[in-house]
Structure 1
């Protein structure tokens, strides 16, 4: 049997374990209302929920159309059914929005981490490029690529964001 971490370096395995532990801790720290909203959202997105509604609404409609004379007709105009479905839709959409807001906050945190790691990597690579250039000079090796000079400057993230915003404005893209 192949182990799930087989073939991965120790650092990668440790990162996976650390991130998994952090996700578990974050899930444990979630408020009761967030946990409840997530559970309800998970259930309402299941086939069990669909089957339950097919049976419940099917019986409701069948009884009130007189197709299933097991019970007396209690909602012949289906007004009560419409009200129940509307109230259910209001609550379910609220639970979904609560879950989506929490997932969006998690996604924002991950995006912030990605940007931070990318900036650190870019900074480290810029420093390495300078070191490689000094080694090349010492060995009297000249780089053939004229773009090599561009990698000596650290990227300024705020300037990049400003340039992206300006480009979106010019193209009429709102965000």
Structure 2
């Protein structure tokens, strides 16, 4: 008798309404940003995507391989048109110039997106820090009223203090300067 097989299906996890909303908003923002892109940006992205693929590598292997095989005389009956391979070198150099430019354009776009995300992360972190400081004060007041001894712990007192972001940035800069010296 064959063993019974069971199939289990897993339902999609419930992500909660806030997270589901955030995912939808972010996806809509990506679509809106893509719709606002200039044609030049779309071309640069398409070129970068293609040149970063294995199809591009295979195409170049075939093209350059045939070019070299023909011009070193390995293909009988086909006349050499670039016996010194100077034209191939020039074509490859010009292609490299354009490809590096397309890659730099794409990297600049990605850097701008990453910078915007980092700024958003920073703003959300600062807001969260502010809100948590107020929640900590409220909880400490409740704990004190209820007579919870941990309410007077130094760490509990510390988390009730607002953090000044500029002071943190200055401290990090000072530490980095000290490490460089």
Length-normalised TM-score, structure 1: 0.93
Rate the CA distance shift 1:75–1:92 in 2: closer, same or farther, 3 A.
Answer: same
Shift of 1:2: 5.0
Moved over 2 A (4+): 1-4
Q: What is aligned with 1:65? A: 72
Q: What is aligned with 1:49? A: 56
Q: What is aligned with 1:105? A: 112
Is residue 153 from structure 1 mapped to residue 161 from structure 2 by the alignment?
yes
Unaligned ranges ≥5, structure 1: none
1:18-167, aligned counterparts within 5 Å? 18-143=25-150, 145-167=153-175
Q: Distance in 2 between matches of 1:102 and 1:3?
A: 37
User: Does the CA contact (< 8 Å) of 1:40 and 1:95 recur in 2?
Assistant: yes
RMSD: 1.5
1 or 2 for the larger relative contact order (CA 8 Å, sep ≥6)? 1
User: Does the CA contact (< 8 Å) of 1:63 and 1:70 recur in 2?
Assistant: no
Length-normalised TM-score, structure 2: 0.90
Rate the CA distance shift 1:120–1:70 in 2: closer, same or farther, 3 A.
Answer: farther
Unaligned ranges ≥5, structure 2: 1-8
Aligned residues: 172
Instruction: Please identify the structure whose Cα radius of gyration is greater.
Output: 2
